Structure 1
Amino acid sequence: MSDNKTEYSYYIKVKNESARKRLGFPFAFWWKTESSEAAATARLAVSMLDAGFEPTDFAKPVRVNSPAVNELPPEGSFDTTF
């Protein structure tokens, strides 16, 4: 197993209009430093559930470049306000 870790950032769109109205936001953002994309997506699902959201309310996560800003949400938190 490699010790090389990479930052994985994801944009997660709410699946449809009824879910957007019910949840009150159009998308979420999540990032974490992990050893593989498989580990990152598994932890994303756990973070989503821990935050009280169901994965079925969201489209497939899209990996994005990490934004170059000073105020990223805490690493590993499922953020709906970023």
Structure 2
Amino acid sequence: MTSQTSDDGLYAVEATPEQLNELLALADEIDSDELARHALSMGLTPPLAGVEYWEMVLTYPENDDDPNAVQLAWLGPDPHDQGDAQ
């Protein structure tokens, strides 16, 4: 996974293998908000400065034959969202 955004606001988590293993182990125990806060407490940073709210989610490849292919991603703002159009 690269650090670039996809069309759905997902950004790769850039971390050491040890940090990723810790986060993956916690992913089944805590929600995505808590997981993001835990990542921040570990010194990891979301990819976009100035964005106040992030979640951390599991991503699955289209071909899910390999269970080790599950990765973590920051879930941030939708890059196509232009805000409230009121």
With structure 2 as the length reference, what TM-score do the two structures score? 0.30
As a proportion of its length, which structure holds more strand?
1
Structure possessing the higher radius of gyration over alpha carbons: 2
TM-score normalised to the size of structure 1?
A: 0.30
